[in-house]
Amino acid sequence: MPDQPNHDVAVIILAAGQGSRMKSDLPKVLHKVGAVPMVGHALAAARSLDPARTIVVAGHGAELVMQAVGKLDPDVQIAHQAEQLGTGHAVAQALPMLSDFNGKVIVLYGDTPFISEDTLAQMIAHTADVVVLGFEAADPGRYGRLVTDENGDLARIVEFKDADEATRAIRLCNSGVMAASAGLLREFIGALGNDNASGEYYLTDIPGLARAAGHRAAVVTCDEAETLGVNSRVELAQAEAIFQARRRAEMLADGITLTAPDTVWFALDTHVGRDAVIGPNVIFGPGVTIESGAEVLGFCHLEGCHISSGATVGPFARLRPGAELGGNVHVGNFVEVKNSVLDEGVKVGHLTYLGDAHIGEHSNIGAGTITCNYDGVMKHRTEIGANAFIGSDTMLVAPVSVGDGAMTGSGSVITMDVPADALGLGRARQANKPGLAKRIMQALREQKKSRGKH
């Protein structure tokens, strides 16, 4: 990837549609594939070009789209399309943000998550003045058709609604993705008309207008699967299945062991190193990195975490955002880690919650340990030194620290700092009452009998 942005490329992502077939209050482009809103996939594709500028055109649910895009990429600009009057009208809303830009502009769609980096690179590298992405459809259906001339150049794009039977017989279909110079778009966007079956301003009219003015229009083709647009819950499920199948295949090809591939669910930005082992029924949320040689056992849920080489996690563990596991750390079953750093060789066997904590190297955390990090208003940190031993069922009431080599007694509630090499005890003194258990049980049985229960 170049060190500097590509000043000859800008990207416009159309994300203004409501998506009525989704039957949702959520804007269509915010429905997730691979644990990331679909518009995030378009943004990832745009980043592969390292563009000078990226503009997202928002309309329906614009505030929600703006918030989501801001989290995904704070450098992206937002244009607002108050009325959804077609793709040409949408691009027109973004062009004022490119008034001083004279490079090539590529138009993507926020509900089309699978356009590949190679395909976009081909479109940008093409010498034609306008380049449209097409595909040979197994079932052309209601797609717009790409009509080419005797030289194979693009003559015009015809929407299905406006096509005659001969044109509908063409199998080369329009994906909607288009590349053209900013100057050409500025020249012809204003010339678009809406004299068509939908009464909308079609971006697809640009190649015909450009060609009539002596410019060359061309087609770059890709596999049909790249152009899948998501317009319904059924198509969303299909897109998820396609995404997961691709990611599983990529992981296996990269030298990662998936013991039950069909049960593992990846996010768009999941990074896993060679020779890592992923067990069955593991779910990856956004922001997970697993280094080479680590192992995640079955039924774990991971999000926003980093697992170093040699570490083992699970089964039935949950790593939440901010969990940082050092080399050879062991996190066992029914352990939850959140916003905590576990240094080299830490062992957390089972039934433990570590939140807002730092655990020093080679410390052992006993079963049932909880860092009590929340006072109802604010979060507080727990600091545990190296080679410490935290007894089972210890409650560490933060803010609190346990020094290097220190211990806590099982069942302790630790509310004060424990110095290095000290033993911290925070529990009531045990008292045995002879015969009291027998008398209590006899009384309870008599009470139950008097109530007519046997």
The model's pLDDT over 75-85, given as tens digits with 9 standing for 90+, comes to: 999 999 998 89
Same-domain check for residues 250 and 187: no
Mean residue pLDDT of the chain comes to: 94
- Closest listed residue to residue 348, CA positions, set 334, 356, 202, 338: 334
**Could you give the residue numbers annotated as active site?**
350
> How many residues are listed for the chain in this entry?
454
| pLDDT band for position 196 (cuts 50, 70, 90) | confident
Whether the pLDDT of residue 29 is over 80: the answer is yes
Whether the pLDDT of residue 47 is over 90: the answer is yes
Same-domain check for residues 255 and 218: no
Domain harbouring 20, CATH code: 3.90.550.10
Domain harbouring 274, CATH code: 2.160.10.10
Same-domain check for residues 197 and 298: no
Question: pLDDT tens-digit profile of 266-314?
Answer: 999 999 999 999 999 999 999 999 999 999 999 999 999 999 999 999 9
Question: pLDDT tens-digit profile of 208-258?
Answer: 999 999 999 999 999 999 999 999 999 999 999 999 999 999 999 999 999
Whether the pLDDT of residue 198 is over 60: the answer is yes
Q: In this structure, are residues 143 and 137 in contact, taking their beta carbons and an 8 Å threshold?
A: yes
Same-domain check for residues 194 and 242: no
Same-domain check for residues 356 and 321: yes
Whether the pLDDT of residue 1 is over 60: the answer is no
The span from the CA of 153 to the CA of 139, in Å, is: 23
How much of the chain, in percent, has pLDDT values that exceed 90? 89
The span from the CA of 247 to the CA of 226, in Å, is: 14
Using the 3D structure, point to which of 192, 227, 262 is the last residue of a domain.
227
The span from the CA of 219 to the CA of 145, in Å, is: 12
Does residue 436 form part of some domain?
no
* Reported pTM: 0.89
The span from the CA of 391 to the CA of 401, in Å, is: 15
Does residue 332 form part of some domain?
yes
Whether the pLDDT of residue 117 is over 50: the answer is yes
Write out the residue range of the structural domain in which residue 129 sits. Answer: 6-227
Does residue 86 form part of some domain?
yes
The tokens of 437 are what?
Answer: 């258990």
Same-domain check for residues 317 and 187: no
Using the 3D structure, point to which of 202, 227, 252 is the last residue of a domain.
227
Same-domain check for residues 319 and 417: yes
Does residue 448 form part of some domain?
no
Whether the pLDDT of residue 142 is over 90: the answer is no
Same-domain check for residues 127 and 170: yes
Residue 280 to residues 100, 261, 334, 386, Cα–Cα distance (Å): 52, 7, 16, 33
The span from the CA of 32 to the CA of 38, in Å, is: 6
Question: pLDDT tens-digit profile of 333-375?
Answer: 999 999 999 999 999 999 999 999 999 999 999 999 999 999 9
The tokens of 85 are what?
Answer: 């009057």
Kind of pairing between the strands at 330-338 and 347-355:
parallel
Does residue 431 form part of some domain?
no
The tokens of 406 are what?
Answer: 């220190």
Cα three-residue angle 375-378-384, rounded to 5 degrees: 75
Whether the pLDDT of residue 6 is over 80: the answer is no
Region at 61 (left for phi over 0; alpha for psi -120 to 50; beta for the rest) = left
Average pLDDT in the 102-114 region? Answer: 96
Question: What 3-state class would DSSP assign to 45?
Answer: helix
Q: In this structure, are residues 285 and 264 in contact, taking their beta carbons and an 8 Å threshold?
A: no
Question: pLDDT tens-digit profile of 380-436?
Answer: 999 999 999 999 999 999 999 999 999 999 999 999 999 999 999 998 888 999 999
Same-domain check for residues 319 and 188: no
Whether the pLDDT of residue 66 is over 80: the answer is yes
Element (H, E) at 56: strand 51-58
Average pLDDT in the 116-129 region? Answer: 95
Average pLDDT in the 89-96 region? Answer: 96
In 343-439, at which residue ranges do the beta strands (DSSP E only) sit?
A: 347-355, 357-359, 364-365, 370-372, 382-384, 389-390, 395-397, 400-402, 407-408, 413-414, 423-424
The tokens of 115 are what?
Answer: 């356009």
Whether the pLDDT of residue 260 is over 50: the answer is yes
| pLDDT band for position 194 (cuts 50, 70, 90) | confident
Whether the pLDDT of residue 12 is over 80: the answer is yes
| Helices marked H in 48-178 | 62-72, 87-94, 117-125, 165-168
In this structure, the number of other CB atoms found within 10 A of the CB of residue 259 comes to 13
Report the domain count for the chain: 2
Q: In this structure, are residues 44 and 268 in contact, taking their beta carbons and an 8 Å threshold?
A: yes
Q: Identify the bridge partners of residue 220 per DSSP, sorted by sequence position.
A: 133
Same-domain check for residues 82 and 122: yes
The span from the CA of 391 to the CA of 96, in Å, is: 64
**Between the CA atoms of 269, 229, 282 and 336, what dihedral angle is there, to the nearest 10 degrees?**
60
Residue 166 to residues 114, 133, 160, 171, 204, Cα–Cα distance (Å): 30, 21, 11, 11, 19
The span from the CA of 129 to the CA of 131, in Å, is: 7
Average pLDDT in the 130-135 region? Answer: 96
Q: What is the pLDDT of residue 141?
A: 85
| pLDDT band for position 2 (cuts 50, 70, 90) | very low
Same-domain check for residues 356 and 396: yes
